[in-house]
């Protein structure tokens, strides 16, 4: 009788739940269908009746991009060319000239030629501005002109470029380009192996394991894994790299989403390489996504000491979804959580400020590692050992993003000779030259304080402020502008680090930069020190 009563109660409840779920689904589906119909009719009438001739493809591209900009910067539309580039990035192989290139409206700039590849062999250098490719002017090419540099193996392309104001030309023979996930590894001393993992493409775990095997054969008893500047990549490879150091069956990542099928737990599936070898992970403000899965996971499991500066803070997972005509939507499907349960997402794209900017998380929750150590969420992976010169701020980010550091390095390269990496030193006179360069350039950036003050000044100023108060506000803005230039000296140590990295690459490529790191880099020296002190290493990981 009791069983029958339970059945009578449960069935109606389930029926009601199913009805509500179905109703909600139908409601959402109807709203989507309604909005699609409105947009379709609007798009059709606009193109048929607008006073001037329209370009439907360009209008649609603009509409899609503007719609997605309201979400987050990782949810993007990929056209056919973008899809191919996405595949190449994950595979780590393509055919082209072998150089990192930055696109402008009227030119392409060589950012970094890869050592021994076609661009390097043809004499192209960082800072060269490509103005024509074959008989095509970059300024007149509406699409991404960088695509013109790609082509079949052994095919040639002629380019003209500006170097220090002088027009030059060369011919580049394209070849197969392999983008290594591990571009460098070496013994840092007789006991310490050093591995640079620069990206999480499909080669990441296999190349990291190969480096570990080789270094162990050379006598490595402890390992430094450098994830600085690594923007991430494949989630599966982040799991596999972590698996090299922890046993099979360990939970590394949990993903949570509004879509049930994207709620998953990811555990290690393979036999590890070594679960005991002392390990230090290096991170900085450009270590993101998969880099944070590895560093955050190993920190939560008390398997590695993290050294450097707080990482970027990207706790969002994307997946490419196929659309029609070979296009795709790369969409954020979930947030990921490290073994302790924390999400390290730094920016909140769904609760923006009045200016429409994403809000940075400032209130962190505490979590516990396996050994009970305190860690926090919401702002990247916070290192166990902080290296001051790796820290960044608005000014430093602006100097890098506006290519001021890059442009000064170009200028330095053509004015100075350098015969070996370890001989490099940025002298005080060199840094003062950089300060003068910035002061005389068009470089500018706005702090959050300036933005707030300027908004206050333009918000019905005649009603809110007296002339005296408004004048005080303007004086304050002027003082802030002056203080920004003074900040170049306040943060000289951190900025010098950025300058040094860029300058050394000009002479000795990436390999030379890593060799310089082994001798002079504060993070590597600190990691070597803690690894060479077993007691201190254990104390950091054991916690309270």
- Which residue from 208, 225, 215 is spatially nearest to 298, judged by alpha carbons? 225
Residue 10 has pLDDT above 50, yes or no: no
- Per the structure block, which two tokens stand in for 364? 């962190």
- Per the structure block, which two tokens stand in for 532? 């060479």
Mean pLDDT of the chain: 88
Average pLDDT over residues 531-543: 95
Beta carbons within 10 angstroms of residue 77's beta carbon: 17
Cα separations (Å) of 192 from 217, 277, 364?
Answer: 12, 11, 35
Q: What is the pLDDT of residues 409-437, one digit of tens each?
A: 999 999 999 998 888 999 999 999 999 99
- Which residue from 368, 349, 367 is spatially nearest to 358, judged by alpha carbons? 349
- Per the structure block, which two tokens stand in for 432? 């003062």
Give the chain's end-to-end CA distance (angstroms, integer).
56
Strand partners, 187: 193
Residues with a catalytic annotation lie at 289, 300, 314
pLDDT (0 to 100) of residue 119: 96
C-alpha torsion sign, points 74, 75, 78, 84: positive
Of 31-45, 193-207, 234-248, the poorest mean pLDDT is in: 31-45
Stretch (H or E) spanning 186: strand 184-187
CA distance 61 to 69: 12
CA distance 194 to 220: 9
CA distance 93 to 202: 10
Q: What is the pLDDT of residues 319-366, one digit of tens each?
A: 999 999 889 999 999 999 999 999 999 998 888 877 778 888 778 899
CA distance 525 to 275: 23
Query: CA geometry: angle at 493 spanning 424 and 500, to 5°?
Result: 30
User: Cβ distance 93 to 177 under 8 Å?
Assistant: yes
Between 24 and 524, name the one with better pLDDT: 524
Q: Buried (b) or exposed (e) across 168-203, using 16+ Cβ within 10 A?
A: eeeebebbebebbbbbbbbebeeebbbbbbbbbbbb
Alpha helices in 350-427 (DSSP H): 394-401, 404-413
User: Cβ distance 246 to 266 under 8 Å?
Assistant: no
pLDDT (0 to 100) of residue 51: 92
E strands within 301-451?
305-308, 316-322, 328-337, 347-348, 359-360, 366-368, 374-376, 385-386
Residue 7 has pLDDT above 50, yes or no: no
């Amino acid at each position: 009788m009791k069983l029958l009563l339970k059945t009578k109660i449960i069935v109606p409840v389930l029926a009601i739940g199913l009805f509500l779920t179905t109703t909600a689904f139908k409601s959402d589906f109807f709203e989507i269908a309604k909005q699609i119909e409105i947009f379709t009719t609007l798009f059709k009438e606009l193109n048929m009746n607008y006073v001037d001739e329209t370009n439907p493809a360009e209008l649609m591209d603009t509409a899609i991009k503007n719609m997605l900009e309201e979400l987050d910067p990782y949810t993007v539309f990929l056209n056919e060319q973008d899809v191919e580039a996405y595949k190449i990035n994950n595979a780590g192989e393509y055919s082209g000239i072998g150089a990192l290139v930055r696109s402008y409206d009227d030119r392409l700039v060589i950012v970094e030629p890869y050592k021994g590849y076609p661009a390097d062999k043809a004499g192209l250098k960082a800072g060269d501005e490509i103005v024509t490719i074959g008989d095509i002017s970059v300024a007149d090419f509406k699409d991404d002109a960088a695509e013109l540099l790609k082509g079949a193996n052994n095919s040639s392309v002629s380019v003209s470029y500006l170097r220090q104001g002088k027009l030059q030309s060369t011919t580049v023979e394209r070849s197969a380009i392999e983008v290594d996930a591990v571009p460098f590894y070496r013994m840092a001393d007789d006991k310490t192996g050093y591995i640079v993992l620069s990206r999480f493409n499909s080669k990441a775990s296999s190349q990291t394991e190969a480096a570990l095997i080789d270094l162990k054969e050379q006598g490595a008893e402890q390992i430094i894994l450098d994830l600085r500047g690594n923007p991430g990549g494949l989630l599966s490879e982040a799991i596999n790299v972590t698996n090299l150091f922890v046993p099979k069956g360990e939970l590394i990542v949990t993903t949570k989403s509004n879509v049930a099928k994207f709620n998953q737990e990811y555990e290690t599936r393979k036999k590890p390489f070594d679960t005991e070898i002392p390990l230090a992970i290096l991170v900085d403000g450009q270590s993101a996504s998969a880099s944070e899965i590895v560093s955050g996971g190993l920190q939560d499991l008390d398997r590695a000491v993290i050294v450097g500066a707080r990482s970027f803070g990207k706790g969002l997972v994307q997946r490419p979804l196929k659309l029609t005509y070979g296009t795709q939507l790369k969409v954020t499907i979930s947030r990921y959580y490290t073994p302790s349960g924390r999400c390290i997402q730094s920016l909140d794209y769904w609760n923006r400020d009045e200016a429409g900017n994403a809000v940075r998380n400032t209130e962190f929750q505490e979590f516990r590692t396996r050994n009970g150590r305190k860690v926090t969420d919401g702002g990247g992976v916070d290192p166990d050992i902080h290296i001051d010169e790796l820290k960044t701020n608005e000014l430093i980010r602006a100097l890098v993003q506006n290519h001021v550091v890059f442009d000064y390095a170009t200028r330095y390269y053509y004015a100075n000779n350098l015969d070996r990496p370890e001989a490099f030193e940025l002298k005080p006179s060199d840094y003062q030259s950089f300060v003068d360069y910035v002061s005389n350039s068009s470089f500018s950036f706005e702090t959050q304080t300036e933005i707030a003050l300027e908004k206050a000044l333009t918000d019905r100023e005649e009603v809110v402020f007296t002339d005296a108060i408004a004048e005080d506000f303007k004086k304050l803005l002027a003082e802030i502008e002056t203080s920004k230039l003074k900040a170049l000296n306040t943060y000289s140590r951190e900025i010098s680090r950025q300058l040094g990295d860029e300058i050394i690459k000009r002479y000795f490529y990436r390999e030379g930069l890593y060799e310089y790191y082994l001798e002079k880099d504060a993070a590597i020296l600190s990691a070597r020190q803690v690894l060479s002190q077993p007691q201190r290493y254990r104390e950091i990981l054991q916690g309270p």
